[in-house]
């Protein structure tokens, strides 16, 4: 291990030990025990590695994995993507979907945690070194460590992910209220209901606009993009109107069996717009996209245009919002990708006849030209496996 890797090992050990005591997750002994899993996993990995660049996957043993087995995810990487070799019970619960050996992370699009992991792997180098990561969702705090393994000890073909997480409860404006008034009569309850209905009527216009906008979305599971953007703009308009009339908003939420969510303020209006039973993962993404747009100074009048211009659309906003919550512009991989993309935007265009490669097939990177069409930037130095995968994809389109 070189000096940089040794420094990284010390950092991981120090962080794991520091986090084994009370912190902002919880002060419970159970949570402290879970955080120590990262240190145990790292020490086990480091002991298996010995003098190799990476420890061997075949050297993993049931006894060695036992202390953190339920919190572990073992992945194998190939041209087909990231394939699950093992998923502990806690990982399955975190994925919020059935996960079996042989499943691909790319085939779990509705799992926010699977999507977050794939985001970590956008840079191939990220899966070749031991590293800690953090994943924060609306009611989920998750921390983990990624540890590469190998078939031969030279190349990183596998990854062991050990994760600890804590789910927070939703906040309700009536949480902790006493039982005063428990003997309310039916007449009083009817009067309160009528008063709530009258208050909620104050938001009838923006609520009707939400219903109208949603009716224009061809398919709620992925219809027209512009129609979806306009539906989100209608939801944001409802939120803006509700902020001006909080009593009416409270009454509207009560009437629909919803609660205020301090960490996800846009989720209630999204449920009012798309329905309470709408896909939870999509609602979470929409809420993150709205949060990022508002963070960037957007309003309901500008939201649709903002989403159309945002790289990656809604998912691009989700990634940016997660990065903002972590207190930085993006992950190291995202920042490297952003710098590389900017460089390629400014790169000189080349005629294909001036490019050369010693291989029969190669990948040429092109960009959209200002006047239409494409212009070549250069030959991408890709490993044979990526070139072969591109050949297969092109063949399938024929």
Beta bridge partners of 104: 83
Residue 267 CB coordination number (10 Å)? 23
Structure tokens at 181: 């008034």
DSSP, collapsed to helix, strand or coil, labels residue 143 as strand
- Angle (CA) 67-70-75 rounded to 5° is 105
Distance between CA atoms of residues 126 and 135, nearest Å: 16
Quick check: 108 and 99 in contact, CB under 8 A?
yes
Structure tokens at 102: 């042989």
- Assessment of whether the complete model's pTM goes beyond 0.75: no
Give ranges for CATH 3.30.450.20 in the chain: 3-167
Quick check: 95 and 116 in contact, CB under 8 A?
no
- For 35, the enclosing helix (H) or strand (E) is helix 29-49
Residue 47 CB coordination number (10 Å)? 11
Per-residue confidence (pLDDT) for residue 196, from 0 to 100:
58
> Assign residue 9 a region: left if phi > 0, alpha if psi is -120 to 50, beta otherwise?
alpha
Quick check: 88 and 165 in contact, CB under 8 A?
no
Per-residue confidence (pLDDT) for residue 274, from 0 to 100:
87
Per-residue confidence (pLDDT) for residue 329, from 0 to 100:
54
HEC states along 257-270? Answer: CCCCCCCCCCHHHH
Per-residue confidence (pLDDT) for residue 212, from 0 to 100:
83
Quick check: 259 and 253 in contact, CB under 8 A?
yes
Per-residue confidence (pLDDT) for residue 106, from 0 to 100:
82
Helix %, strand %, coil % for the chain, to 5?
55, 15, 35
Per CATH, which fold does 3-167 belong to? Beta-Lactamase (3.30.450)
Angle of the 280-295 helix axis to the 225-244 helix axis, nearest 10: 70
Query: What pLDDT, in 10s, does the model give residues 176-193?
Result: 444 344 444 556 555 555
Quick check: 394 and 361 in contact, CB under 8 A?
no
10-residue mean pLDDT profile of the chain (398 residues): values are 45 46 40 66 88 89 84 86 86 79 78 79 77 73 86 86 72 40 52 60 81 69 73 91 82 81 84 85 90 90 91 88 70 72 89 90 91 90 85 80
């Amino acid at each position: 291990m070189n000096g940089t890797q040794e420094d990284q090992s010390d950092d991981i050990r120090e962080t794991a030990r520091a986090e084994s005591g009370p912190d902002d997750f919880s002060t419970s002994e159970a949570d402290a025990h879970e955080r120590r899993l990262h240190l145990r996993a790292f020490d086990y990995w480091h002991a298996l590695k010995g003098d190799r660049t990476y420890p061997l996957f075949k050297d993993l043993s049931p006894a060695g994995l036992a202390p953190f087995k339920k919190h572990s995810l073992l992945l194998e990487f190939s041209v087909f993507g990231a394939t699950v070799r093992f998923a502990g019970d806690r990982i399955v619960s975190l994925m919020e979907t059935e996960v079996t050996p042989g499943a691909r992370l790319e085939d779990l699009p509705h799992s926010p945690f699977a999507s977050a992991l794939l985001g970590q792997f956008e840079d191939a180098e990220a899966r070749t070194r031991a590293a800690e990561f953090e994943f924060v969702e609306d009611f989920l705090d998750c921390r983990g460590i990624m540890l590469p393994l190998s078939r031969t000890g030279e190349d990183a073909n596998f990854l062991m992910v050990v994760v600890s997480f804590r789910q927070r409860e939703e906040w309700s404006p009536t949480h902790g209220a006493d039982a005063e008034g428990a003997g309310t009569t039916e007449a009083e309850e009817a009067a309160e209901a009528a008063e709530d209905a009258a208050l909620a009527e104050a938001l009838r216009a923006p609520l009707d606009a939400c219903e109208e906008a949603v009716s224009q979305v061809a398919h709620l599971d992925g219809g027209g993009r512009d129609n979806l953007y306009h539906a989100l703009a209608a939801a944001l308009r409802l939120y803006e109107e509700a902020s001006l009339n909080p009593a009416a908003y409270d009454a509207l939420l009560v009437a629909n069996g919803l609660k205020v969510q301090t960490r996800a303020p846009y989720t209630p209006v999204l449920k009012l717009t798309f329905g309470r039973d709408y896909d939870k993962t999509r609602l979470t993404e929409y809420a993150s996209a709205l949060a990022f747009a508002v963070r960037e100074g957007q309003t309901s009048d500008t939201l649709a245009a903002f989403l159309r211009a945002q790289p990656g659309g809604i998912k691009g906003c989700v990634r940016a919002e997660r990065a903002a919550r972590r207190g930085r512009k993006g992950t190291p991989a995202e920042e490297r990708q952003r710098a590389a993309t900017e460089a390629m935007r400014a790169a000189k265009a080349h005629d294909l006849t001036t490019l050369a490669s010693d291989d029969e097939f190669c990948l040429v990177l092109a960009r959209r030209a200002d006047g239409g069409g494409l212009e070549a930037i250069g030959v991408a130095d890709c490993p044979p496996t990526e070139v072969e995968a591109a050949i297969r994809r092109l063949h399938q389109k024929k």
